[in-house]
Amino acid sequence: MEFKVESKITMEISVGNSLIMVLFILYTFIFSGFDVNALPYDYTASIEASSPFLNIGGIVVNPEFDTGLEGWEAYGDAKMELRELAGNKFIAAHARNQPCGSISQKLSLQREMHYSFSAWIQVSEGNESVAAVFKTSTGFKHAGAVVAESKCWSMLKGGFTSDCTGLAELYFEIRKSIVRIQAVDKQKNPLPNATISIQQKRPGFPIGCAMNKNILTNTAYQNWFTSRFRVTTFEDEMKWYSTEGSPGHEDYSSADALLSFAKRHDIAVRGHNVVWDDPKYQPGWLYSLSRTDLSKAIVRRVKSLMSRYKGQLIAWDVVNENLHFSFFESRLGNQASGDIYRLAQTVDSSVPLFLNEYNTIEDNRDGAAATAKYLQKLRQIQGSATNARLGIGLESHFDTPNLPYMRAAIDTLAVTGLPIWLTEVDVQSGPNQARYLEQILMEAHSHPKVDGIVIWAAWRPYGCYRMCLTDNDFRNLATGNVVDNLLRRWHSGTLFGSTDSEGFFEASLFHGDYEVNITHSSSSSVTFQITV
């Protein structure tokens, strides 16, 4: 396993048997009033694998290794050495056993400066998801990520805004783990040349899509969905206006049917939502209730919905969008959200209770849902629901993504240590819709603190909410092709190989659940499960 850096900022990383080559340049932008001082910036980008243009410059020290290894260090468990081939010098980082094992360089950053990062990446075999990460005194800043392919160069482009002054360390991370398996007989003797297969049964990083009741009667929709996704959220079927059209008359038949369908196909479900703070989306009869009767209705709603599906879901969106809206707070007081979370915790403490909100990572102009306001609301809820298991739900309804802001916002929220999901990912219609979707999904997947993604593209014959993945015949649109390509790239599939002379077999795997089968001529076959 090697990771090499050549002159002209060329890197090769070995993950399993794959080598990754990276060419990069780091620019610094300094904003002072309306004056901008910066190194020349290249506005070009590419979404197609191709031959890169070498572009040397920026603040990287000793980019062509004219002074040996000056400025460069091994990172994580990697070892490195300077080599030369065909007149090109490069650093080889080898003996990697961790996703972050690579080479690194310490760079001096200044607070509130903007740093742009570009990289061309290539792997020798297959494909690998590679992220560029800056470790600073305040956390990890993700400068971008790309799925690198073999025999061509793929462009990684991103950046971040520094929130501190001081040294930062640049390194590269792969969302995979190195797994080493040894085959031995009953006497613990190694079994060389044993045949081994490793098949991924469930990815460790869940990527799903919303669904609605249209799937229950449409076989084509069912086949398209179940062949791709292992997690979902029901678009409307659990919402209060769908389940209690008149007071005391509850109808959970659609939600029950969808949950039964999901269970049959081994699809995990997020509960969405218990109550919604937007005044436009309340059951009609709720508006005329007195304060006392509204409080009673909320208690009945929380207990009815959450007890019905307790133990069958992986999460709850409890008070939806209560940074932008305050229907319940305006009638019951500022403590209303905290009271609802406290009640929710008493009904179902088995799964995280999410605060689901939009524009926290999508739009830095929306002060209502900025990270500081989101954290303030979390603290308020925690003050009332002291034992609640909370989660951070980022709806992710994007127009034009600001990837550095998205990364910085997630970095800030990750300090809480709470689980983070992108819960309703979509992109507005336009010529760049598919490209923007790919960038957003890759950024989220590469962030080590993001635990899962749900795409908000439940199909309806008259059109999806903002973004569809297929047409009405369930042929992929460009957005659907993006999702399929990424699902294939982020899936380890089935690996085959043989153990070495000491009975060992080593593989680089995406996180998930795997079935391992080992066969040897001297003993019977054995099959077992592992989680990476």
Interacting residues of 292 by C-beta distance below 8 A, sequence separation 6+? none
Say whether 262 sits in a helix, a strand or coil.
helix
Nearest CA to 16 out of 126, 112, 104 is that of 126
Three-state DSSP string of 394-421:
ECCEECCCCHHHHHHHHHHHHCCCCCEE
Residue tagged 């739009």 (tokens): 363
* 384 alpha-carbon distance from chain centroid: 30
Residue 491 CA to residue 512 CA, distance in Å, equals 9
Let me know: does 11 contact 21? Beta carbons within 8 Å.
yes
Residues recognised as catalytic: 321, 424
Residue tagged 């689901």 (tokens): 356
Beta strands 397-398; 420-427: pairing state:
parallel
Tokens of 102: 């690579």
User: 323-332 b/e with 16+ CB inside 10 Å = b?
Assistant: bebbbbbebb
Amino acid residing at 496:
F
Residue tagged 């590419």 (tokens): 46
Tell me the backbone φ, ψ of residue 446, rounded to 5 degrees.
-80, -15
Residue 131 CA to residue 143 CA, distance in Å, equals 7
User: What is the number of residues in the chain?
Assistant: 532
Amino acid residing at 467:
M
The partner residues of 496 in beta bridges, in order of sequence, read 197
Residue 455 CA to residue 443 CA, distance in Å, equals 14
Residue 203 CA to residue 176 CA, distance in Å, equals 11
Interior angle at CA 356, CA 350 and CA 361, nearest 5 = 130
Sheet strands (E) in 279-351: 315-320
What does the DSSP 8-state code read for residue 368?
Answer: G
Nearest CA to 148 out of 20, 306, 338, 295 is that of 20
Tokens of 348: 């179902």
* 218 alpha-carbon distance from chain centroid: 30
70 CB-contact burial (10 Å; exposed 0-12 / middle 13-18 / buried 19+): exposed
